[in-house]
Amino acid sequence: MYPCESKAARSRASSFPGRLRGSLPARSPKALEALFDAFFGPIHAYVRGLMGEGQPFEDVIQETFVRVYRGLDTYDPERDPKPWIFAIAT
């Protein structure tokens, strides 16, 4: 578990469908939407917890997902995307 990550956020992130992992490097719209839906909440909670109230954490969250999109060619679809995405957010 990552700092500041709620139980609900962990549940959403674990719901990313494994069958879509192989579609991520090809930037499948359906896979990208599922990735965003599964990880937006956990990343939001994580970044907000790291930065604290009153900080521009929304920009960091947006930049995280931009970097995820740009880095999809380096993503290994055999692996869980959660550690990869959280490393980008950090």
Write out pLDDT tens, residues 48-76. 888 887 778 888 999 999 999 999 888 88
Q: Within 10 A of 85 (CB to CB), how many other CB atoms are there?
A: 24
pTM across the whole model: 0.74
Instruction: Please return the burial class of 51, using the count of CB atoms within 10 Å of its CB with bins 0-12, 13-18 and 19+.
Output: middle
What confidence score (pLDDT) does residue 67 get? Answer: 94
How far lies 89's CA from each of 16, 19, 30, 68, 86, in Å?
18, 24, 22, 9, 5
What confidence score (pLDDT) does residue 9 get? Answer: 46
In three-state secondary structure terms, 15 is: coil
Indicate whether 10 pLDDT > 80: no
Write out pLDDT tens, residues 12-61. 445 566 777 777 877 888 888 888 999 999 999 999 888 887 778 888 99
| Gyration radius from the chain CA atoms | 13
Nearest to 89 by CA among 61, 53, 55, 56: 61
